[in-house]
Structure 1
């Protein structure tokens, strides 16, 4: 069992948990700014802790990346529960998808982390299993209440999520918030009543598309 898995199996002291969260927050900021190749020393300095503290929680960078992703999945689970607690199943679903879009747009390193990690790692699979069940519950409730089309499957959320995330990845640095328009159109496609709700996010201009394409090329 890895250090990360062992840490998940026993409660941490309050100060140790604060340090763990501080390390994860610092690493997420650095990964978003500079990519995944930052060092553990960089993370320690950014978190304001000794490098030994970082290594006590995560024995290497891959474990740290896993820890970040598990923390992200735990946050998603919290929002899944908030969606289920919302008395309006449609509003709860919209809030959940909006949160997920906001997270990916704000954290530019998260997409890279999702591509880097081993999704079959036990600690990742355990966290994803709990999140998947919550996602199924959200969809089943919305379907049972008749607000989404009956043929919408819980696994369709994977496709929707990736479409919105791709839009955010391409446009966020040049046209912040443009991903919301794609989300609004996707939500319309989910509705059981077939209604079309007016889009509130303006379309991209030709100039904005060119700017996004240029920025994309520079980062490759």
Structure 2
């Protein structure tokens, strides 16, 4: 994933990650599961993490994003880290710097249907939600 502009590179990475998650391809599980030793999945995860770090570092170094953005994800080792992520999310909802969004929000009917129909992810795992 290469882009001349650091912001464009970060946007491309985040877009791809969201698309992979929406497709229930197992990407999030790959990135959040601990693997022992040098398994192929562990090697792949390390390569992806190094790419993520480089994309974020490049965007930070160029000034395209705030200087305190880091790619690390925490879990049990820093249980209060969610507060930092929440601060980033809340900043994203401020009207300053907002731009038009091409995709409309879900309608009430779409939300209801999503609750009634088992998700594709659940069907792939062989169970209903």
Give TM-score scaled by structure 1 length.
0.39
- Alpha-carbon offset, residue 199 of structure 1: 1.4
User: Which structure's CA Rg is the greater one?
Assistant: 1
Unaligned stretches of 5+ residues in structure 2:
76-88, 120-126
Higher helix share: 1
The 3-state SS of whatever aligns with 1:136 is helix
| Matching residue of 1:135 | 52
- Alpha-carbon offset, residue 209 of structure 1: 0.6
Quick one: distance in 1 between partners of 2:57 and 2:25? 31
1:153 counterpart (58, 65, 70): 70
- Alpha-carbon offset, residue 145 of structure 1: 0.9
Aligned length: 102
The 3-state SS of whatever aligns with 1:152 is coil
Per-residue CA distance 1:95-116 (angstroms, 9 max, x = gap): 122122222333x3526x928x
Ranges of 4+ aligned residues in structure 1 off by more than 6 Å: none
Quick one: distance in 2 between partners of 1:130 and 1:201? 32
Per-residue CA distance 1:138-163 (angstroms, 9 max, x = gap): 1010001111111111125x89xxxx
After TM superposition, the structure 1 = structure 2 runs for residues 34-73 of structure 1, keeping only pairs within 5 Å, are none
Unaligned stretches of 5+ residues in structure 1:
1-81, 160-185
Give TM-score scaled by structure 2 length.
0.63
* Cα root mean square deviation, aligned: 3.1
| Matching residue of 1:208 | 110
